[in-house]
Amino acid sequence: MSKVRKLEDAVAAIPDGAVLMIGGFMGVGTPPRLIDELIRQNKRGLTVIANDTARPTVGIGKLVAGRHVARVIASHIGTNPETQRQMIAGETEVELVPQGTLAERVRAGGFGLGGILTPTGVGTVVADGKRTVELDGRTFLLETPLKADFALILAKRADYYGNLEYALTARNFNPLMAMAAETVIVEAEDIVPVGMIPPDHVVTPNVLVDVLVAKEARHG
């Protein structure tokens, strides 16, 4: 069955309060049409797992500025004063996670691991309340997996089946998140016939993709 859905229908399936993983780094690699449609449909109480909250007018920053988000799990919010303001005012819950730990927690969620052991954060406030493990004389933090209801992914190219290619630094968290969510929704800059993306170039295999957002009809 085809995975292609209209933008409106793809986003309508996301309920208020859903846990979303959203690809991107300062907006680069964040699916712009999906973000704008979440706002247009006025989704509320979302949990967003993402690297950062960009700027108030960019990518995930727009969701925060429009008060669509109740909880953020991210490594960096410094470029978005509105996220910081909402956090300090107690309006939005923010969990700050070291960036490499965030990547590994998402990977663990998608790869069926029970957690990961990292030296990052040992002896700092990040370690508060977490278990440590001693191995060969080194101390590691036990960090738990992250999973989501939906992953919102930006790909450079998809084929009709949903095989995905990414571009340069727009790849970032996208392939990791495409493994770690119940439903994976993909916005692709280009959609091409099956066979045009050689198997060696496929980064996210089609079986992971549930929904491919239809391109808007262009004329002329």
Partner 1 sequence: MDEKTLIAKRVALELRDARLVNLGIGLPTLVARHLPAGTNVFFQSENGIIGMEPVPEEGLENADLSDAGGSPIGAVPGAASFDSAVSFGLIRGGHLDVTVLGGLQVDEEGRLANWMVPGRMVPGMGGAMDLVSGAKRVIVAMQHSAKGESKIVKRCTLPLTSVRRVDLVVTDLAVLEPTDAGLVLKETAPGVSVAQVLAATGCELIVPATVPAMPIDA
User: Where does this chain bind partner 1 (CB under 8 A)?
Assistant: 25-29, 51-52, 54-55, 58, 74-79, 84, 87-88, 96, 98-104, 107, 118-126, 156, 166-176, 203
CB of 178 to partner 1, least distance (A): 10
C-alpha to C-alpha distance for 197 and 165, rounded to whole angstroms: 8
CB of 107 to partner 1, least distance (A): 5
Quick one: tokens of 90?
Answer: 């107690």
Nearer to partner 1 (CB atom), residue 13 or residue 122: 122
Q: What separation in angstroms does the CA of 86 have from each of 111, 125, 163?
A: 33, 21, 38
Q: Is 85 helix (H, G, I), strand (E, B) or coil?
A: helix
Q: What separation in angstroms does the CA of 185 have from each of 90, 101, 130, 176, 182?
A: 31, 24, 32, 13, 10
CB of 64 to partner 1, least distance (A): 13
Nearer to partner 1 (CB atom), residue 41 or residue 118: 118
Quick one: tokens of 24?
Answer: 């991107």
CB of 4 to partner 1, least distance (A): 23
Nearer to partner 1 (CB atom), residue 14 or residue 30: 30
CB of 156 to partner 1, least distance (A): 7
CB of 96 to partner 1, least distance (A): 4
Residue with tokens 């999973």: 147
Quick one: tokens of 171?
Answer: 């790849």
Nearer to partner 1 (CB atom), residue 150 or residue 166: 166
Nearer to partner 1 (CB atom), residue 58 or residue 184: 58
Q: What separation in angstroms does the CA of 93 have from each of 20, 68, 98, 201?
A: 15, 12, 17, 39
Nearer to partner 1 (CB atom), residue 42 or residue 139: 139
Quick one: tokens of 64?
Answer: 């925060």
